[in-house]
């Protein structure tokens, strides 16, 4: 007899005030299968996996586990069944060791010495390089992710849920992750894999369920279906291709940084070491790097949240701004979008209109003479919502009520809509679907074509190769010399991100090829 699916959902529905997040969703995942869950932002993926993992309860429908109907009232109950989940944002304490973090994530108290033996066995079995005694703040993002995976494997999962697992990994780390996931699946564990990177879905997954508007709209074999077709099924429309305007090109230097040295942000920040760059009118300058190599410090130094040692360390259109604060830099034409959208780029408990006012008032007539022009604020906010297709109830909606992808679209739209002289943005499409990512990238290209200089800091190499005219790599707080994107290989950039530079990276890339 054919074995039942490991997980089978039948008619799962879930509503929130004003929103039907899931509607009559059915899907099944077999033992040993790597199954993709795809959909645009707001399609219902997060709600669905939270129901599977016991974080939320469905309003209707049934869950079957190995052929038996079950209730999953909590994450602890999910783990008892054999369901593990690795979230996109890791739950780790930087000041603690690897083994201490693993112990904290277990449901039962354990002896650390005994746990080390169990962890060592898993690391050896799956060829995972990880030192149990190292402090987490010294680890790369890929190594941190291994902690979460090991924590799940200790519980011998029968189903592993992975949420955007490659968003901040180098190409080499992605290859290692995929090797691990294939080995886990070969041992009978089912894997439910969420990602917006469709080329990775094609390389890894055997089946895919596609959601749109909270409903299942298609199932397919990703190895056969094209990435373009899957993206179009997700968004329900033809996928936009980036169009560059003819006659563009780099003009005068708009942003110049000379030998910027800055201490790392406490307690575990990375110091910037003699960073120099020049971004010209009409160009997009890409900055690649693995998370934790000084990207946050670079952005806060450019934005004015942290001041440089001298005014001349940073020039905006030839004017020294290194000792100017964030508000003054915005008034002069420099806009920034930080990596953390909820809490840094936006105030969660403020309405979208108030969040728009916070940064746009420096460039637009939203508060003349210090008096808020509420009508102008509402009009600007509404224009951002329409232009960037932000799924929300309106300018009065709280920032925290938006999905992560929709908040990202709003924040990007708020800054691009001000038409700054220079835009510095970190992770411009992090967590947004293929359609929204294409729209945001087109807006960045159009902004540069109007004469702005755009600096994009990203761990997504595909994005950088698609967008950037020139590319440099940040590693341990140092910035490489920029190189023209034309002719650069993705594996070569990945090696540079991991610490190899110049001739070494080229040689390593050639060997890898």
SS3 130: coil
Residue 253 lies in a domain: yes
Structure tokens at 475: 């590693």
252 and 304 in a single domain? The answer is yes
The pLDDT assigned to 333 comes to 96
The distance from CA 237 to its chain's CA centroid, rounded to whole angstroms, is: 23
Pick from 415, 394, 399: nearest CA to 355 = 399
| Domain final residue, candidates 199, 216, 235 | 235
Same domain, 225 and 140: yes
Shared domain for 404 and 470, answered yes or no, is no
* CATH number assigned to the domain comprising residue 148: 3.40.50.300
- Tell me, what's the pLDDT at 293? 86
348/204 same-domain check? no
Number of structural domains in the chain: 3
Query: How far apart (Å, rounded) are the C-alpha atoms in residues 168 and 456?
Result: 15
φ/ψ of residue 4, rounded to 5? -70, 160
2: in domain: no
Choosing from 364, 394, 419, the residue where a domain stops is: 419
Residue 252: HSE in the Cβ half-sphere, 13 Å Cα cutoff: 6
| 307 and 358 fall within a common domain | no
- Nearest-angstrom CA–CA distance, 280 and 454: 8
Sheet with 319-320, side-by-side order of all strands: 272-280, 253-262, 314-316, 319-320
| 338 falls within a domain | no
Is 117 inside any structural domain?
yes
Peptide bond connecting 295 to the previous residue in cis, omega within 30 degrees of 0: no
* pLDDT at site 489: 79
- Both 215 and 257 in one domain: the answer is no
* Gap between the Cα atoms of 429 and 267, Å rounded: 28
Q: How far apart are CA 144 and CA 86, in angstroms?
A: 11
Q: What is the pLDDT of residue 240?
A: 74
My answer on whether omega of the bond before 267 falls inside 30° of 0, hence cis, is yes
* CA-closest candidate to residue 33, choices 153, 149, 157, 191: 191
Q: Are residues 431 and 303 in the same domain?
A: yes
Same domain, 477 and 362: no
Judge whether 1 lies within some domain: no
Based on the domain organization, do 375 and 499 belong to the same domain?
no
Residues 160 and 268 in one domain: no
Write out the chain's pLDDT in tens, 513 residues.
578 999 999 999 999 887 899 999 999 999 999 999 999 877 899 899 999 999 999 999 999 999 999 999 999 999 999 999 988 777 889 889 999 999 998 888 889 999 999 999 999 988 888 899 999 988 877 788 889 889 889 989 999 999 888 766 767 778 888 999 999 999 999 999 998 888 889 999 999 999 999 999 999 999 999 998 998 999 888 877 777 765 556 799 999 999 999 998 776 778 999 999 999 999 999 999 877 789 989 999 999 999 998 999 999 999 999 999 999 999 999 999 998 888 899 999 999 999 999 999 999 999 998 999 999 999 999 999 999 989 888 999 999 888 778 899 999 999 999 999 999 999 898 877 778 888 899 999 999 999 999 999 988 888 888 899 999 999 889 999 998 988 787 777 777 776 544 434 444 444 333
Domain residues for the domain of 433 are: 243-333+421-513
Same domain, 95 and 174: yes
Specify if 99 maps to a domain: yes
> So what's the pLDDT on residue 246?
54
pTM of the model: 0.74
Looking at residue 499, what is its pLDDT?
Answer: 59
- 26 lies in the same domain as 91: yes
């Amino acid at each position: 007899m054919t074995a039942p699916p490991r997980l089978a959902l039948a008619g799962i529905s879930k509503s929130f005030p004003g929103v039907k997040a899931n509607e009559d969703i059915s899907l099944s995942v077999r033992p040993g299968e790597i199954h993709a869950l795809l959909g645009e932002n707001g399609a219902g993926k997060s709600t669905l996996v939270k129901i599977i993992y016991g974080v939320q309860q469905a309003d209707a429908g049934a869950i079957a586990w190995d052929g038996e109907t079950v209730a999953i009232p909590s994450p602890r109950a999910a783990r008892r069944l054999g369901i593990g989940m690795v979230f996109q944002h890791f739950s780790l304490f930087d000041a603690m060791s690897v083994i201490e973090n693993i112990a904290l994530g277990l449901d039962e108290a354990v002896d650390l010495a005994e746990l080390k033996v169990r962890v060592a066995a898993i690391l050896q079995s799956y060829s995972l390089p990880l030192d149990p005694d190292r402090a987490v703040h010294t680890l790369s993002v890929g190594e941190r992710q291994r902690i979460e995976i090991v924590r799940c494997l200790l519980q011998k999962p029968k189903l592993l849920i992975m949420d955007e697992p490659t968003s901040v990994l180098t190409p080499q780390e992605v290859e290692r992750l995929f090797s691990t996931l294939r080995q886990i699946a070969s041992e009978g564990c089912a894997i439910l894999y969420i990602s917006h990177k469709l080329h990775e879905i094609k390389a890894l997954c055997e089946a895919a369920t596609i959601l749109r508007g909270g409903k299942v709209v298609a199932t397919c074999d990703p190895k056969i279906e094209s990435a373009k077709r899957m993206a179009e099924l997700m968004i329900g429309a033809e996928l936009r291709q980036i169009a560059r305007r003819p006659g563009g090109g780099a003009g005068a230097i708009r942003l110049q940084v000379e030998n910027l040295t800055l201490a790392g942000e406490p307690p575990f920040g990375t110091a910037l070491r003699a960073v120099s760059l020049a971004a010209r009118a009409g160009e997009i300058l890409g900055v690649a790097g693995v998370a934790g190599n000084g990207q946050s410090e670079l952005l806060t130094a450019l934005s004015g949240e942290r001041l440089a040692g001298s005014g001349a360390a940073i020039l905006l259109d030839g004017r020294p701004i290194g000792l100017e604060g964030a508000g003054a830099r915005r008034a002069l034409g420099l806009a920034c979008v930080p990596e953390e959208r909820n809490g840094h780029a936006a105030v969660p408990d403020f309405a979208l209109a108030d969040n728009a006012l916070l940064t746009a008032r420096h460039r637009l007539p939203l508060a003349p003479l210090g008096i808020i022009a509420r009508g102008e604020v509402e009009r600007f906010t509404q224009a951002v919502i329409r232009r960037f297709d932000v799924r929300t109830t309106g300018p009065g909606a709280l920032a925290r009520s938006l999905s992560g992808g929709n908040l990202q679209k709003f924040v990007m739209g708020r800054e691009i809509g001000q038409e700054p002289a220079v835009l510095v943005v970190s992770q411009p499409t992090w967590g947004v679907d293929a359609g929204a990512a294409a729209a945001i990238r087109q807006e960045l290209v159009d902004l540069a074509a109007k004469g702005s200089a755009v600096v994009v800091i990203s761990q997504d190499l595909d994005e950088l190769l698609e967008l950037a005219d020139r590319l440099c790599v940040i590693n341990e707080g140092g910035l490489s010399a920029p190189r023209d994107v034309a002719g650069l290989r993705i594996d070569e950039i990945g090696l540079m991100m991991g610490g190899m530079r110049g001739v070494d990276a080229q040689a390593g890339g050639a060997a890898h090829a």
